Structure 1
Amino acid sequence: MTLKHILLGTIGATMIAAPAAFAGSVTPAPADPVVATPVAVALTGDWTGGYVGGQIGFGDVDAGGSDSGAIGGLTMGYDHDFGTWVLGAGIDYDFADITAGGNTLENMARLKVRAGYDMGAGLLYATAGAARADIDTLGNDTGYFAGMGYEHMVTEKISVGGEVLYHAFDNFNGSGTDVEATTAQVRATFRF
């Protein structure tokens, strides 16, 4: 056997074995990593439960003269979701310093009921109830209020919203002065 035959035999054997060597190994190749696609979570809006929160906004007061200013405070209550409709009750307490006609509205409390349409993560509602106001020169008196609002769940426990209310106090504390107030407030609540 000559060197030429040995080289040709080696080259031939290499050419036959090469495809098998490049075909792969006994262990499988690692799998491509799986990247999870983010999934948006739709809030269903189960409004049943209690809530506490804060609110702030603007009040326009007519008490023998008209003026406006900031108003804000605390809110708490409980709602029950009946499916399409929500019914609830709550209490608000607001601080104010709005002087109108020489009379200053210092605070206002509300005992309220609300009924609304369940829109999933949103709640469109009407509200009404009793209001109690404290005016520095006239004392305090009880009247009524009515209005509407919208609340939206931003997480399962946090909701934000807004509310516009009209308040009326006839013959405030026997003074002969009728007091009216309109408030527009935004709120944030923690639901439990």
Structure 2
Amino acid sequence: MLKTTTALVAVTALLGAPAFAGSPAAPAPDPVIVPAAPLAPSSPNWTGFYAGGQLGYANVDTDIPGVDGDGLIGGLVLGYDYDLGNNWVVGGGLDYDWADVDLEPGISLDNVFRAKLRGGYKIGNGLLYGTGGYVWADTNTVGDDDGYFIGGGYEHMVTQNVSVGAEVLYHQFDNFGTANTDVDATTVQARATFRF
């Protein structure tokens, strides 16, 4: 009887002892680490002032037969854009260009000034926009005149502070200077700006 009781106490002690290595209990599973989803690419914020330069080509036509010409045009740009936060950007700016466009012997287009409004839609790091506004032009001998222009362009952010782009503008002048002639001009220019 004593052997049976001792054996029963030994078995009970073993069954009541804490489980150590080799325990029949299944270990807890390792935590599963799920990588974070990549952030959607965001377009840059266009809000702020900018200044830069532009260079290109101008083609000028008048309603006087044979009085037209084309040549180099380029100058400075200054402006401000406001990013509406919903892929739309609006802004305004000033351009001043020096020109070298001979219309006939003794008459050349020398300077062009623009005050412009623009509005555009963001495409990734770029801005596709339309523009228009007031234009003033000056010649060396037949005076100056003002008119309007319309056009469009594309600008692309290369870095947070630098953008490059291109713009095409159509200009219209009625009764230009002392020549009293209608003038239209088309410009195509590349530009680079620094954004503050």
TM-score range, shorter chain: 0.7 to 0.9
Secondary structure in 1 aligned to 2:78? strand
Partner of 1:82: 84
Per the normalisation by structure 1, the TM-score is: 0.76
- The percentage of aligned residue pairs carrying the same residue is 56
Q: Is the 8 A contact 1:46 1:120 kept in 2?
A: no
Gap regions ≥5 residues in structure 1: 1-41
**Count, aligned residues:** 153
Q: Is the 8 A contact 2:143 2:178 kept in 1?
A: no
Partner of 2:38: none
- Structure 2 counterpart of 1:152, one-letter code: H
C-alpha displacement at 1:174, in angstroms?
5.3
> What is the correspondence of 1:169-180 to structure 2 with a 5 Å cutoff?
169-173=173-177, 175-180=179-184
Partner of 1:39: none
Secondary structure in 2 aligned to 1:131? strand
> What is the correspondence of 1:1-192 to structure 2 with a 5 Å cutoff?
44-63=43-62, 64=64, 65-83=67-85, 84-102=87-105, 103-173=107-177, 175-192=179-196
Equivalent-residue separation in structure 1 for 2:139 and 2:148 (angstroms): 16
Secondary structure in 2 aligned to 1:155? coil
Q: Is the 8 A contact 1:43 1:155 kept in 2?
A: no
Deviations 1:94-128 (A, max 9, x none): 00110113421001000000000012310000000
Equivalent-residue separation in structure 2 for 1:132 and 1:59 (angstroms): 15
C-alpha displacement at 1:43, in angstroms?
6.7
Per the normalisation by structure 2, the TM-score is: 0.74
Secondary structure in 2 aligned to 1:138? coil
Describe the shift of the 1:81–1:176 C-alpha distance in structure 2 as closer, same or farther (beyond 3 A): same
- Structure 1 counterpart of 2:97, one-letter code: D
Partner of 2:9: none
Equivalent-residue separation in structure 2 for 1:43 and 1:75 (angstroms): 27
Deviations 1:16-42 (A, max 9, x none): xxxxxxxxxxxxxxxxxxxxxxxxxx6
Equivalent-residue separation in structure 2 for 1:69 and 1:117 (angstroms): 31
C-alpha displacement at 1:66, in angstroms?
1.9
Equivalent-residue separation in structure 1 for 2:175 and 2:136 (angstroms): 13
Of the structure 1 ranges 126-135 and 93-102, higher mean CA displacement relative to structure 2 is found in 93-102
Gap regions ≥5 residues in structure 2: 1-40
Q: Is the 8 A contact 1:43 1:156 kept in 2?
A: no
RMSD: 1.8
